[in-house]
Structure 1
Amino acid sequence: MAEAGIQGEGRVARRQRRNRAALIKAAREIMTEKGTEAATMLEIAERADVGAGTIYNYFRSKDELAIAVLEGLMHDLGVSIQAVTDRFEDPAQVYAFGIRTVLDAATGDPRWRQMLRRSEVIADALFRMMGPFAIRDLRQASAAGRFRAEDAELTWRLTCHALIGASLAITEGQLSPAESERIVARLLCMAGLDLASATELAGRPRPPLPGR
């Protein structure tokens, strides 16, 4: 259906779609090179080969563009997590690996860190972009008897807000990065595990992501 819609779109719609994708790609490159704060809308527009004023037809502010970049990063992270966890035999470990990896990204990647104060917006983006992966993992672990998440969607939504809140606390020095494993264990308890089982699961060795 989506492909049919793209094939049937008009010339203006195709140009708009290409311009938006080019702006997000350029912003991702520049924000990776020099950080979100140092990036400017002008240089992003120039790299994307889009008029300096035209960029505001797609994004009202650099903050809004940075969120679009972060949404792409979230989706890519979900794909990378799946590439690793497809080898796991324990479905609960799949979910645990995912939330620990998100916590590490949110506290370690400057493109995430600089957006954490927009916690409500970022938590919603996390829910939407990584939800298809996480909700599936929650349901599979529950079906296997490892979790007791009766409402996987609600569990993931609550986990997103807790993850972003904990990440912000770590980046602002209110929590130590050494607390990450305990944070993950508590988040696993939200899926219906007892604390001892959650602690064991959170402490399992984690293989690296592809390309890391």
Structure 2
Amino acid sequence: MTETAANKAKEGRVARRQRRNRQALIRAASAVMSDKGIDAATMLEIADRADVGAGTVYNYFKSKDDLAVAVLEEIMQGLALRVESATAGLDDPAQIYAIALMTVLETATEDQRWRQLLNRAGIVSDVMYRRIGPFTIDLLAKAEASGRLTPGDPALAWKLSTHAIVGFALAISRHEVAPVTIPTAAARLLCLAGLDAREAEEMVARPRPMLPPEQHLHDLSPQEG
């Protein structure tokens, strides 16, 4: 093997090891934060659970908050994939979008890994836009093309919706509104996308398909070469 090829192989192994370490830390943080909450979780406990040195954590994440945001990014991306899988047999993009809205609203108010970051509204809405947006923006575009919804600019409609979702979830966490109003909030967001109010209320009341269990992309650990 030439020196250049050897260096490339070494770099490949280093990159894979770094990826595995990062994934292990996110997986460990997700588990610890689910059990104890973000505030009670410690970087040392997360490092121990990930089976890496305590100092290694800071090679990948500047702070516990940064690690929590990485966990949130994965939760959101996984949520979009789960909704997409559960709704694969449905033809109406407006109905699928309604299911996505209800699911996101419920998760934002029930999952403490998500809920404890709501005070960082700008970060949470940005992550939601980036991680869930590819799915929801595509739905809005399809719904507009089929005449089911009239969001205008699908990306802007989703951007506005992410901020509304964060604000609504924060209001629930502060006990300013009750969780039973989630369907009402989802219906209003459907109206924002151009659906008639009466149909929006009927749509969010429909039974929803069961989502597959939460999975972690990092559970599929690549083998080191």
| Alignment of 1:91 onto 2:97 | no
Show the counterpart of 2:189: 187
Show the counterpart of 1:56: 58
Show the counterpart of 2:221: none
Show the counterpart of 1:122: 124
1:8 and 1:78 map into 2 onto residues whose CA distance is: 35
Please provide the CA RMSD for this pair.
1.7
2:119 and 2:73 map into 1 onto residues whose CA distance is: 16
1:49 and 1:156 map into 2 onto residues whose CA distance is: 39
2:207 and 2:15 map into 1 onto residues whose CA distance is: 47
Identical positions, percent: 53
1:8 and 1:187 map into 2 onto residues whose CA distance is: 50
From 169, 172, 187, the equivalent of 2:171 is 169
Show the counterpart of 1:29: 31
1:14 and 1:90 map into 2 onto residues whose CA distance is: 41
The alpha carbon displacement at 1:157 in A equals: 0.8
Deviations 1:24-58 (A, max 9, x none): 11111211232222211001112222221121121
From 153, 156, 159, the equivalent of 2:155 is 153
From 114, 122, 132, the equivalent of 2:134 is 132
| Alignment of 1:112 onto 2:114 | yes
**Contact 2:87–2:209, Cα closer than 8 Å, also in 1:** no
1:48 and 1:200 map into 2 onto residues whose CA distance is: 45
2:56 and 2:181 map into 1 onto residues whose CA distance is: 45
Which sits farther off after the overlay, 97-106 or 112-121?
Answer: 112-121
1:211 and 1:154 map into 2 onto residues whose CA distance is: 30
2:17 and 2:200 map into 1 onto residues whose CA distance is: 49
**Contact 2:151–2:157, Cα closer than 8 Å, also in 1:** yes
- What TM-score, normalized by structure 2, do the two folds share? 0.86
Deviations 1:31-87 (A, max 9, x none): 123222221100111222222112112111111101100111111111111111112
Counterpart of 2:59 in structure 1: which amino acid?
N
The alpha carbon displacement at 1:9 in A equals: 5.1
The alpha carbon displacement at 1:150 in A equals: 2.2
The alpha carbon displacement at 1:162 in A equals: 0.5
From 77, 81, 84, the equivalent of 1:82 is 84
Which sits farther off after the overlay, 29-38 or 159-168?
Answer: 29-38
Runs of 4+ residues over 6 Å off in structure 1: none
Aligned residue for 2:54, secondary structure, equals coil
Aligned residue for 1:77, secondary structure, equals helix
Q: Tell me, which stretches of 5 or more residues in structure 1 are unaligned?
A: 1-6
Task: Specify whether residues 181 and 14 from structure 1 end up closer, same or farther in structure 2 by C-alpha distance, changes over 3 A only.
Answer: same
1:61 and 1:8 map into 2 onto residues whose CA distance is: 29
Aligned residue for 1:10, secondary structure, equals helix
2:107 and 2:160 map into 1 onto residues whose CA distance is: 18
Q: Tell me, which stretches of 5 or more residues in structure 2 are unaligned?
A: 1-8, 215-225
From 140, 143, 146, the equivalent of 1:144 is 146
Counterpart of 1:199 in structure 2: which amino acid?
E
Show the counterpart of 1:207: 209
2:28 and 2:183 map into 1 onto residues whose CA distance is: 35
